[in-house]
Amino acid sequence: MNSWSLKDTNFNESYQLKETLYSTANGYFGVRGSFEEGVNKEIPSVRGAYINGFYESEEIVYGEKLHGFPDRSQSILNVIDTQGISVKINNEIFSLFSGKVLFYERELDFKKGMVIRTIQWESPKGNIINIIFNRLASFTRRELFLINISIEAVNFDGAIEIVSTINGDVSNIVSEDDPRIGTANAKALSIVDLQVENNRSFIKSKTKHSKLVVVGGISHLNSQNLKESIEKEEKSINHIFKGNLEKGKIIFFTKYAVYTDTNRHPDEINQNKKILDEALKHDFGHFAISQENYLTKFWEVSDIQITGDEEMQQGLRFNLFHLLQSVGKDRWSNISAKGLSGEGYEGHYFWDTEIYIFPFFLFTNPDLAKNLLNYRFTILDFARKRAKQMGHTIGALYPWRTIAGDECSPFFPAGTAQYHINVDIAYSIIQYYSVTEDVAFMTEKGMEMLVEIARLMYHIGHFRNDGKFCIDAVTGPDEYTCIVNNNYYTNVLTKNLFVQIGKIWSELGGLQNEDLKNLTEKLHFESEELVNFEKAGIAMFLPYDAEKNLHPQDDSFFNKKMWDFENTPKENYPLLLNYHPLTLYRHQVCKQADTILGHFLLENESNMETIKNDYHYYEKITTHDSSLSTCIFSIMANRIGEYDKAYDYFINTARLDIDNLHHNTKDGIHTACMGGSWMSMVFGFAGMRLVDGELNFHPHLPKKWKSLDFKINFKNRILVCHLVSDSIQIRLEKGEPLNVIVEGIVVAVS
């Protein structure tokens, strides 16, 4: 097994799943891994191309609509199809579903950043060709999608015809039965213009409601001076190339496709033409080299090397590569639950970003991490507006599901009620500042978000008669338990925000800092508010049962009856697809880590004995129906010393998409789980934590692994970490010496 790539040798199996696995993206746009030439009609396929942050908005229809319910949805759109290329030899159409396939291999190469499909095909009349497709979404020219084809005649001379298509007749999938799949109007994009100019073709399309515009443009280069003609149809344009094949000789054909959209390109079509013309000055090899150079730099700081477990090594690199492909790299975009590989969850951005994905970028590529926070700042005014819609007189409430900033979750018990989205974002801002010491970001953007989030969380809470600060009627991470009082996770992260915001404010200089002084005036922020936050943090109520030495997930959790796991058929999982939400809410049953996640993020809020007890209690009642769950149980199993269990949970995290463990990867990758696989390595097996501005390690390597190596970017330093058994060696590759803590002992790193 080559752990630097994913290979497939069976083209006729699980095609829709592989469209996801072999998707190509660069953070701006993504293209599913469909065959350029298409497939038979009976094969399920979702042929899609998506732009990060490009969406349609539609009215949400309710049977009974109450105050504060979101008005409109936002759904990522399948945009103009630029993949299409058909090949004819001697009037026989190349297809893997006719003639004979003598050799087939498809490879997603994590170093080259390219999908390579290699085929030897014998036509029904016996003509044999070798054909190789290479495709990439350029990391260095974000609008550019390239397909390069080499065609060799093995046993004949004859005619060749290549038809390259740009198609504006696209649609989204619709599913009413699975809430994890998009339910947008299938036909949401209308063609407004088709242009042909100097062997280039352009289709311009516009959404009906969001009024966003996308332009796709294509052009071509080839090695044989094939004769080109262009046919313009109602919704597509075909470029037809004709020429001759000679036995033993190879024809090279390159398709250049460019995407531009309203958000990044105010003059969409003219900017598309300019980018396309510039790209045509370079051959495919130029962009292939640039792609590999970009990835060399990425892997230099991001790779995690496992000795002794090639399957897990491959799974991990696959995950990290897809995270890079999926993450938004500008202020208009974030990273959706399915990346840019499918339409699951309608392309929405969730809390997944901050808690599961952000740490990977924070400790390896902090500039990309900052991009994710910049997006949250971009939609801050939407969060302020949402707070007012929800009856709050002050502060900001970030949307549970969104693309452009508005709340899009119509199911409030497991949507809007998850106020922890606010403190998840705050937690990441605090982590970012601790790791990067980026004062400029904090004074310009970070503190404004923290203040508005803290105001909101203080507003929804109250001091009860015994002086404890409580937060009522919220939903924690566990979506099988909704609308509760004092969810442990929400309360402990809110406490962290209340305690930390004053410390950071003082550290940044308070009113002596001109930026902060301006911020106090802009927000009408009073120093008394910091005092109130601190009081609430100190008085925060964290549910605890002293008799059981357990933290109930919320005030009422232990009063509910247990779910009957023994008599629940396997086919009834995930439970959310087979039981009414109220049935789930009445039981002690968890979809995913909740209290245990709180322990991971803020371990020092409880003693280790209680954490162990909580772990064992919640492990028995957690279904892991969410892909966000097993990584947290792996990390915390390591922390409490249950190492075999930690490895078993890690297996279910690292290869979840490759092995299709949740049976829905066809709808898109699971980006949060991918981030969780990195966390399982660094926070789990290496036991790394950030406590009071210092790195702590509690290392333990799985039995079958010989070593584990990774790098950490921390406070403008690069640390090289090497694990063997229960020991860790840390070397300073870049920056000033610093102290870290290993198993409670201070160690100087230089």
pLDDT band at 21 (very low <50, low <70, confident <90, very high): very high
Comparing C-alpha atoms, which of 5, 14, 2, 10 is closest to residue 659? 14
The DSSP 8-state label assigned to residue 198 in this structure reads: T
pLDDT digits (tens, 9 = 90+) for 596-636: 999 999 999 999 999 999 999 999 999 999 999 999 999 99
Q: What one-character-per-residue DSSP string does 92-126 give?
A: EE--TTSSEEEEEEEEEETTTTEEEEEEEEE-TTS
SS3 of the chain: helix, strand, coil, percent, to 5: 35, 25, 40
Helix (H) or strand (E) holding 285: helix 284-302
pLDDT given at position 273: 98
- Across the range 130-143, mean pLDDT stands at 98
- Give the model's pLDDT for residue 181: 58
> Domain for residue 599, yes or no?
no
Assigned domain for 441 exists: no
The Cα–Cα gap between 559 and 548 comes to 13
pLDDT of residue 224: 87
Range of the domain at 240: 5-59+81-275
Indicate which CATH number applies to the domain containing 163: 2.70.98.40
Q: Is residue 456 part of a domain?
A: no
Asked if the structure places residue 377 within a domain, the reply is: no
Establish if 363 belongs to a structural domain. no
Q: Is the pLDDT of residue 183 over 60?
A: no
Indicate the pLDDT class of residue 173, thresholds 50, 70 and 90.
Answer: confident
Give the span between the Cα atoms of 433 and 631, in whole angstroms: 25
- Residue carrying structure tokens 């605090």: 430
pLDDT tens digits, residue range 646-679? 999 999 999 999 999 999 999 999 999 999 999 9
Predicted confidence (pLDDT) at residue 175 exceeds the cutoff of 70: no
Average pLDDT, the chain: 96
> Which pLDDT belongs to residue 185?
62
Mean of pLDDT values over 729-741:
97
Residue 574 has pLDDT above 60, yes or no: yes
Going by pLDDT thresholds of 50, 70 and 90, the confidence category of residue 381 is very high
CA distances from 424 to 62, 418, 490, 577, 622 (A): 29, 10, 9, 27, 22
The one-letter code for the residue type at 103 is F
Q: In this structure, what token pair is assigned to residue 654?
A: 């690292």
The token pair that represents 610 in the structure block: 């209680």
| Token pair for 207 | 């959404």
- Give the pLDDT band (50/70/90) at residue 178: low
Mean pLDDT across 689-705: 95
Average pLDDT of span 246-269: 96
Per annotation, catalytic residue among 37, 346, 479, 642: 479
Residue 729's pLDDT band (cuts 50, 70, 90): very high
Q: In this structure, is residue 731 part of a structural domain?
A: no
Domain total of the chain: 1
- Domain assignment of residue 737, yes or no: no
CA gap 108, 138 in Å, rounded: 14
pLDDT per position as a tens digit, 410-467: 999 999 999 999 999 999 999 999 999 999 999 999 999 999 999 999 999 999 999 9
The pLDDT value given to residue 1: 84
Q: What is the pLDDT of residues 510-550, one digit of tens each?
A: 767 888 899 999 999 999 999 999 999 999 999 999 999 99
In a domain, 563, yes or no: no
Dump pLDDT digits (tens) for 219-257: 999 998 899 999 999 999 999 999 999 999 999 999 999
Q: Provide mean pLDDT across the span 580-605.
A: 98
CA-wise closest residue to 649 among 632, 665, 671: 632
479 catalytic, yes or no?
yes
| Euclidean distance between CA atoms 553 and 487, whole angstroms | 6
Q: What's the rounded mean pLDDT across residues 495-501? A: 98
Task: Please determine, for residue 710, whether its predicted confidence score (pLDDT) is greater than 70.
Answer: yes
